[in-house]
Structure 1
Amino acid sequence: MAGLPDKARAVIIGGGISGCSVAYHLAKAGWTDIVLLERKRLTSGTTWHAAGLIGQLRGSANMTRLARYSAGLYVGLEAETGIATGMRQVGSISVALTADRMEELRRQATLARIFDVEVGEVSPAEIKAMYPHLNVGDVLGGVHLPLDGQCDPANIAMALAKGARMRGAVIAEGVAVTRVITAAGRVTGVEYDSAEGPGHIAADVVINCGGMWGRDLAAQNGVTVPLHACEHFYLVTEAIAGLGHLPVLRVPDECAYYKSDAGKMMLGAFEPKAKPWGMGGIRADFEFDTLPEDWDHFQPILEAAMERMPLFQTAGIHTFFNGPESFTPDDRYYLGEAPELGGYWVAAGYNSIGIASSGGAGMALAHWIAHGEPPFDLWEVDIRRAQPFQKNRAYLKERVSETLGLLYADHYPYRQMATSRGVRRSPLHDALAARGAVFGEVAGWERANWFAHAGQEPAYRYGWGRANWFDNQRAEHMAVRTGVGLFDMTSFGKIRVEGPGACAFLNRVCAAQVDVAVGRVVYAQMLNARGGIESDLTVTRLSETAFLLVVPGATLQRDLAWLRRHLGTDFAVITDVTAGEAVLCLMGPGSRDVLGRVSPQDFSNAAHPFGTAREIEIGMGLARAHRVSYVGELGWELYVPTDQACHVFEALVEAAPELTLCGLHALDSCRIEKAYRHFGHDITDEDHVLEAGLGFAVSRKKPAFIGRDAVLRKDDAGVSRRMMQFLVRDPEAMIFHNEAIVRDGKIVGPVTSGNYGHALGGAVGLGYVPCAGQSAAEVLGSRYEIEIAGRRYAAEVSLVPMYDPKSERMRL
């Protein structure tokens, strides 16, 4: 095509707001040889029909940071480019019709205060004053965010495109990328078709911003981008006299949102069961297209709206709109470099918050591409969380029928997906189900979260107080503390690294010393150059040249990608062996006695010390027993060949009638009593290993490992924040995540993870407290509270685990 270069530093595929934002921010970063290719016209896929709601509060600090960046960017774009963006900070109101929803909104208000987002709790009368058209007779209250707003999505995309062009980027419409070209595991360019014929552009990086086309485009190169389009409905009334600029209104209990625009009122829906679309692919000529009306599907939303806002009973309907948007299995978008292919980047799958998210996402991705690392922790949206099986279209079609509606569902703690279940199962799944297991799902794995008693309903009943399984968790928890419990942890990711260079390679990527005797188990982190934690794992030396790395099931793809990226010239082979072994964790002071009944081996401290692994006979099979613990008690992780797992399980339960089957909820409550960190919540690539309190796992004696210089600098400078443990004894307090840490009356940060400490007798949380220039005694000397949904509870604090602070019980 005339005017297109044959080489570029970056080729961006897709001209919606996401692609335009990436182009704008790469150009702003100084990259001038950028080409954006749009198959039809800019915004013609999803952006043009988006509602344009700009909310600044998200579920975490960094997602809020991105949303706030988007809002600020859009406010300034018009002056920069001369294109009107329609950005108006009219504010937003979310209202509650139930006590549970009010609790959630109050928790969100606390979250806003943590992140310094202006927020106010508003009464029904105050809501009515701001929104005179609203029926507030059954409204319990709400929250008001005055700096939220709305915009013209298509014009914002155009403004971003113009801003990119002003800095030298080439943006071409009517150019369809047909193939991403690769060599030696990296992208080398793209091939395209245009009205003037086919062409080729060589490129260093390719960014897939293809929206609902992104999955199939990625699949051509074996890249996993699990997303699927759904039909998304809204209607717009005729003009209503005197309507004015009202705040954006959300009534999540009725699955509805409202926006006034140009004197008309928009009603949109996130209905509980959505309609997936495009299962068989999207036709080639799709451009600014709408989908067929479905009044029957939308009718329940409209009927509720006519009661909630009576003006809908008399206003004429100008437009009933149905258009496709892409959704993902977990309602979070994808950002980052694909683990399968170097130089292949993704920004797609925005789950109907693409306008509010794309400004910040484009900034973050451009930084990541230009600097080789993200600007801050982005694990929530990292493409490496996607599991390869999730690109299965039958799986996606069923799952996204649920995820669209979950945007406005009650966001209860421990809420489990109902669709697309049972894909990945342990060999013990049926045996556990027969014994009352109630399963949750992580990375597709079905995992026993708790065990129902005989006669008890084996199902979740969601809420914000003590759960219907609270007493079950307590019984399992205390069995581990006082007797013996058995967990099925087959979902652990298992990576075998072997070869003559394996030891040198692992010592370079791990902060701990892994050149240890055969049979030793080492707790370690993989760090980045800033000292941030990229992975939290154990490394077991199986032989002189072979190691087993055990990681959380949810981070397996991330960890594999990190290892492969850093392998370099070391002669080692990295293999995912997760499916080859089941893992049974036998934990508690009675575990040694139980093992002695099913195995002839000696499990004494002398014969099998803490932190070692060896092969054992068990029942009539073989296993590898690792003496480690994530619950803080004497215990072993038993790695059993998958084909022998059922036999070993049966041998254990038959030999030990006192054994209690335990679920992941009890595992988590035990680990938080021990203040063990959880990757993705307590520790991330943004958290320095020393500030996370994990300096004991770092070997300063090693001459070279990734992150060593950052560790030594922090050793010299001192930490600026500390990970602390908090205990709230008030029986009403339930800590889950993102409650506020209050120090001497001032909010200083969020709780990173929480659960109930049954042995400690109260809710327990972890979180970071800023402490630059302060001693440990000064930090501990303050008065601490935890704010939960606007209420503050006194908290005890500690820098060491409150349960068994010297970790003596694991070494019994």
Structure 2
Amino acid sequence: MSEAKGPGTGSASTLPPEKARVVIVGGGIIGCSVAYHLSRLGWTDIVLLERKQLTSGTTWHAAGLIAQLRASQNMTRLAKYSQELYGALEEETGVATGFRRNGSITVALTEARREEIFRQASMARTYGVDVERITPGEIAARYPHINLDGVLAGVFLEKDGQGDPANIAHALARGAKMRGAQILEGVRVTGMRREGRRITGLDWAAHGETGRIEAETVINCAGMWGREVGRMAGVNVPLQACEHFYIVTESIDGLPRLPVLRVPDECAYYKEDAGKMMLGAFEPVAKPWGMSGIPEAFEFDQLPEDFDHFEPILEKAMHRVPMFGEVGIHTFFNGPESFTPDTSYLMGQAPEMDNVWVAAGFNSIGIQSAGGAGMALAQWMDSGEKPFDLGDVDIARMQPFQGNRSYLVARAKESLGLLYADHFPYRQKATARGVRRSPLHAHLEARGAVFGELVGWERANWFADEGQAREYRYGWGRQNWFDNAAREHMAIRENLGMYDMSSFGKIRVEGRDAEAYMNHACGGDMSVPVGRIVYTQMLNSRGGIEADVTVARLSETAYLVVTPAATRLADQTRLRRLAGDREVVITDVTSGEAVLAVMGPRARELLTRVSPNDFGNEANPFNTFQEIELGMGLARAHRVSYVGELGWEIYLPTEMAAHGFETLAEAGTDLGLRLCGLHMMDSCRMEKGFRHFGHDITCEDHVLEAGLGFAVKTQKPDFLGREAVLRKREEGLQKRLVQFRLNDPEPLLYHAEPILRDGEVVGHLTSGAYGHAFGGAMGMGYVPCAGETPGDLLGSRYEIEIAGTRVAAEASLKPFYDPKSERMKA
């Protein structure tokens, strides 16, 4: 809201130097935070280039809400850090930040929202955030201006705060300058010079002059210009500006300081500031802006008012907080902010270039995120490894097609509103769908598939019965597809199922040095015969898990790395960067083959009907593959399983995929073959205790504490993370990944629910799903165990907290389902 420029933080008449260690493009709060934190780590020769004046893009008009609690532990860690930083900045720099802790209240008007905020309150306990569940009466006591009509409950976060966005940015800039960074205003980047996978210099224009600055490293902090700056650097930065609205009242006599009030069911938030009230909105259908480019002169600008668009929000606000109908409107503000396709910001090393980093697309939470994001990015750049799990925001999760302008505009209409929408489990995006389809998509659709979307892929998540609506009906309890997924699950367990895995990433690593290189990159032993499949991880120097993959040795000089769909680009980028000057070629071949999984006790029986090949244990044992005839075509059968049953993943050339599907489907009719979706795969893997990358295993989870020591072969002399594995074996485990099963069959688990050991919170679930074969919800999560034996760990009393209610749970270090894996190897 403030337009204060802050004293002496920019240098309007200074031209860039000839070279710098790092050039930051963009002088909003994010760029200033990155400069500040790099300088705190001792980096020198830092130059920040701002096209106009600091904060003149979106920072200056931000609402300045600074909340602690986010959707995951590490995003909460970053937000809490921001709060702590902003509280100390004024003393350090002499620039007033306006930061104060006035608390926040979020209210629920529906039963679904109450469930959500109470689950969040439980989650907050494990993250060290103080949250209080409050009744309508307690809400009114803390916020007397609210109309309680329809209010069911609320949560209060005492330590949430607010601040002056522009002055926080200027304080960060001042702190960076105090340590030697150059903050240059009025300098526009006009182009970048590339050599191979590096930027060597940036062209600039400033004060009637032009020039070039050599750069060892470039950081794109350009906010809503981030996509265009990314294109200069040859980097994909998928974000889209949207119009963002708020109103500010005239001064209100006697208005006390109030906590921030959020009413997500009415898409609104309310903030008291300097005796005035502010009403902001995250409307369900947003208005993208700047599709043809942002005007060159844009600086501290507003967009045209659109009262008709905002009026429905205001009408509800006058009912919810009646003072809005009693005082005049001082300001109706419309300003742009940038949003990403999945509503998480973009941060990290760009996959396409080796010296370009990104911090942009903050989805209207840039003020509360900036401190932590700047800290994390600076530490990542300084050490060369993520300081902790940043997968939620790592730009490597963004697929190349997501930079498409038409896609971004379509998705942006939904993204803004999702911030205040119900965050139901399994919620699917409604816009920008159908971009990536399996070769089997039409076959699955014709047989009742209900599709979800992941990184653009349309994936069959469950199959509707005849006459059943093919749609998700969301809720926190059993959703409309629960019974469908249960039948699919039990078909896999008891008989025979088939599902499409074509979206999983496939990366071919080939060359003279392939074996030695793969042994360096992976913890498993890659010196295996042709035809063998190895389950392995790629580790960092701390023994944390950077990737979780299966690797098939195709030939003496070629391997196929199979990755989750969401991490294909990140895993391929890691493989390429680790390769150095070794003679290997790394190629994405995902689209070249479709994959059909045939799983269940009768899987061998089905395959012998459609192929003359031998699928017996002697010819085709577990973790091997063979080239086969399938119908009238050819395929490659991998004997692996992510569901814990006898089965094969059948790799088919894309052009033969339809024939292969038809052949298998026809042959399986009298065997009771059931088509299954990926919700089934998740519930089956949960029963078997199979880890899911990004949830149960991340870069900060040690491979031994994750229970995956069997996949690491330390007899190999040289692989990344080996020393950390050996140290951990010597020192002992500090925590272990434990599997849980609720004793009560009714509650459902998703993720982040607190784990209580003998009545004390000791961790949270990393993932959860319903175990249909056991008749109860199951989950996994890390439990501290320093100095303990397995008997000590399992001898305790465990409970899982769900929306404030504790449910008794059984704990196990071995999989509940088929702990010896006898079914997979039958």
TM-score > 0.5 by shorter chain: yes
What letter matches 2:126 in structure 1? Answer: I
**SS of 1:117 mapped into structure 2:** coil
**SS of 2:770 mapped into structure 1:** strand
Q: CA–CA distance in 1 between the matches of 2:218 and 2:247?
A: 37
Question: Which of residues 244, 252, 270 is equivalent to 1:240?
Answer: 252
**SS of 2:642 mapped into structure 1:** coil
Match of 1:721 in 2: 735
Alignment of 1:309-324 (within 5 A): 309-324=321-336
**SS of 2:555 mapped into structure 1:** coil
Q: CA–CA distance in 2 between the matches of 1:35 and 1:661?
A: 57
Q: CA–CA distance in 2 between the matches of 1:221 and 1:623?
A: 41
Match of 2:680 in 1: 666
**1:587 to 2:587 alignment:** no
Q: CA–CA distance in 2 between the matches of 1:137 and 1:234?
A: 23
Q: After superposition, give the CA deviation of every residue in 1:400-425 in whole Å (9 maximum; x if it has no partner).
A: 10010000000000000000000000
Contact 1:729–1:761 (CA under 8 A) maintained in structure 2: no
Match of 2:536 in 1: 524
Alignment of 1:702-781 (within 5 A): 702-781=716-795
Contact 1:390–1:396 (CA under 8 A) maintained in structure 2: yes
Q: CA–CA distance in 2 between the matches of 1:377 and 1:160?
A: 25
Question: Which of residues 791, 808, 812 is equivalent to 2:822?
Answer: 808
What letter matches 1:538 in structure 2? Answer: T
Match of 1:64 in 2: 76
Contact 1:465–1:732 (CA under 8 A) maintained in structure 2: no
**Residue 692 of structure 1: how far off its partner (Å):** 0.3
Alignment of 1:521-670 (within 5 A): 521-657=533-669, 658-670=672-684
**1:75 to 2:87 alignment:** yes
Question: Which of residues 503, 511, 524 is equivalent to 1:491?
Answer: 503
**1:786 to 2:800 alignment:** yes
**SS of 2:431 mapped into structure 1:** coil
Q: CA–CA distance in 2 between the matches of 1:524 and 1:179?
A: 42
Contact 1:189–1:205 (CA under 8 A) maintained in structure 2: no
What letter matches 2:789 in structure 1? Answer: S
Contact 1:52–1:153 (CA under 8 A) maintained in structure 2: yes
Q: After superposition, give the CA deviation of every residue in 1:125-160 in whole Å (9 maximum; x if it has no partner).
A: 010011111001311010000000111000000100
For normalisation by structure 2, the TM-score amounts to 0.98
**Residue 196 of structure 1: how far off its partner (Å):** 4.0
**1:84 to 2:96 alignment:** yes
Contact 1:504–1:570 (CA under 8 A) maintained in structure 2: no
Match of 2:374 in 1: 362
Q: CA–CA distance in 2 between the matches of 1:139 and 1:778?
A: 46
**1:514 to 2:526 alignment:** yes
Question: Which of residues 374, 398, 413 is equivalent to 1:401?
Answer: 413
Match of 2:809 in 1: 795
Contact 1:96–1:141 (CA under 8 A) maintained in structure 2: yes
Q: After superposition, give the CA deviation of every residue in 1:63-88 in whole Å (9 maximum; x if it has no partner).
A: 00000000010111111111111111
**1:465 to 2:477 alignment:** yes
Q: CA–CA distance in 1 between the matches of 2:15 and 2:145?
A: 53
**Residue 346 of structure 1: how far off its partner (Å):** 0.2
Q: CA–CA distance in 1 between the matches of 2:620 and 2:653?
A: 21
Contact 1:10–1:204 (CA under 8 A) maintained in structure 2: yes
**SS of 1:35 mapped into structure 2:** strand
Contact 1:527–1:535 (CA under 8 A) maintained in structure 2: yes
What letter matches 1:778 in structure 2? Answer: D
Q: CA–CA distance in 2 between the matches of 1:216 and 1:569?
A: 32
**SS of 1:290 mapped into structure 2:** coil
Q: CA–CA distance in 2 between the matches of 1:497 and 1:334?
A: 28
What letter matches 2:264 in structure 1? Answer: P
**Residue 568 of structure 1: how far off its partner (Å):** 1.4
Superposition RMSD on alpha carbons, in Å?
0.8
Match of 2:203 in 1: 191
C-alpha distance 28-523 of structure 1, shift in aligned 2 (>3 A): same
Contact 2:643–2:688 (CA under 8 A) maintained in structure 1: yes
What letter matches 2:804 in structure 1? Answer: G
**Residue 3 of structure 1: how far off its partner (Å):** 4.8
What letter matches 1:672 in structure 2? Answer: M
Q: CA–CA distance in 2 between the matches of 1:32 and 1:201?
A: 15
Q: After superposition, give the CA deviation of every residue in 1:575-609 in whole Å (9 maximum; x if it has no partner).
A: 00000000000000111000111111111111211
**Residue 201 of structure 1: how far off its partner (Å):** 1.3
Q: After superposition, give the CA deviation of every residue in 1:601-648 in whole Å (9 maximum; x if it has no partner).
A: 111111211110111000111000000000000000000000110010
Q: After superposition, give the CA deviation of every residue in 1:2-57 in whole Å (9 maximum; x if it has no partner).
A: 55321111100000000000000011111121000000000000000000000000
**Residue 244 of structure 1: how far off its partner (Å):** 1.4
Q: CA–CA distance in 2 between the matches of 1:426 and 1:372?
A: 36
Q: CA–CA distance in 2 between the matches of 1:520 and 1:208?
A: 43
Contact 2:436–2:457 (CA under 8 A) maintained in structure 1: yes
Q: CA–CA distance in 2 between the matches of 1:4 and 1:354?
A: 27
Q: CA–CA distance in 1 between the matches of 2:652 and 2:15?
A: 61
Alignment of 1:3-14 (within 5 A): 3-14=15-26
Show structure 1 runs of 4+ deviating over 4 A.
none
Q: CA–CA distance in 2 between the matches of 1:189 and 1:685?
A: 32
**1:255 to 2:246 alignment:** no
What letter matches 1:362 in structure 2? Answer: G
For normalisation by structure 1, the TM-score amounts to 0.99
**Residue 700 of structure 1: how far off its partner (Å):** 1.3
**1:43 to 2:55 alignment:** yes
**Residue 374 of structure 1: how far off its partner (Å):** 1.8
**Equivalent residues, number:** 812
Contact 2:122–2:754 (CA under 8 A) maintained in structure 1: yes
Contact 2:199–2:233 (CA under 8 A) maintained in structure 1: no
Match of 1:699 in 2: 713
**SS of 1:187 mapped into structure 2:** strand
Structure 2, unpaired ranges of 5+ = 1-12
Contact 2:131–2:156 (CA under 8 A) maintained in structure 1: yes
**Residue 709 of structure 1: how far off its partner (Å):** 0.3
Question: Which of residues 667, 676, 684 is equivalent to 2:690?
Answer: 676
Match of 1:125 in 2: 137
Contact 1:235–1:266 (CA under 8 A) maintained in structure 2: yes
Instruction: Compare 710-719 and 599-608 and name the one that shifted more.
Output: 599-608
Contact 2:14–2:184 (CA under 8 A) maintained in structure 1: no
What letter matches 2:423 in structure 1? Answer: H
Q: After superposition, give the CA deviation of every residue in 1:206-245 in whole Å (9 maximum; x if it has no partner).
A: 0000001010111123211100000000000001111111
Match of 2:184 in 1: 172
Q: CA–CA distance in 1 between the matches of 2:462 and 2:750?
A: 17
Q: CA–CA distance in 2 between the matches of 1:372 and 1:606?
A: 46
What letter matches 1:256 in structure 2? Answer: A
Question: Which of residues 124, 127, 134 is equivalent to 1:112?
Answer: 124
**SS of 1:109 mapped into structure 2:** helix
Contact 1:256–1:269 (CA under 8 A) maintained in structure 2: yes
**1:386 to 2:398 alignment:** yes
Q: CA–CA distance in 1 between the matches of 2:261 and 2:192?
A: 43
Match of 2:9 in 1: none
Question: Which of residues 132, 135, 139 is equivalent to 2:147?
Answer: 135
**SS of 1:809 mapped into structure 2:** coil
**Residue 784 of structure 1: how far off its partner (Å):** 0.2
What letter matches 2:91 in structure 1? Answer: A
**SS of 1:379 mapped into structure 2:** coil
**1:426 to 2:427 alignment:** no
Q: CA–CA distance in 1 between the matches of 2:490 and 2:227?
A: 46
Contact 1:632–1:810 (CA under 8 A) maintained in structure 2: yes
**SS of 1:542 mapped into structure 2:** strand
**SS of 1:566 mapped into structure 2:** helix
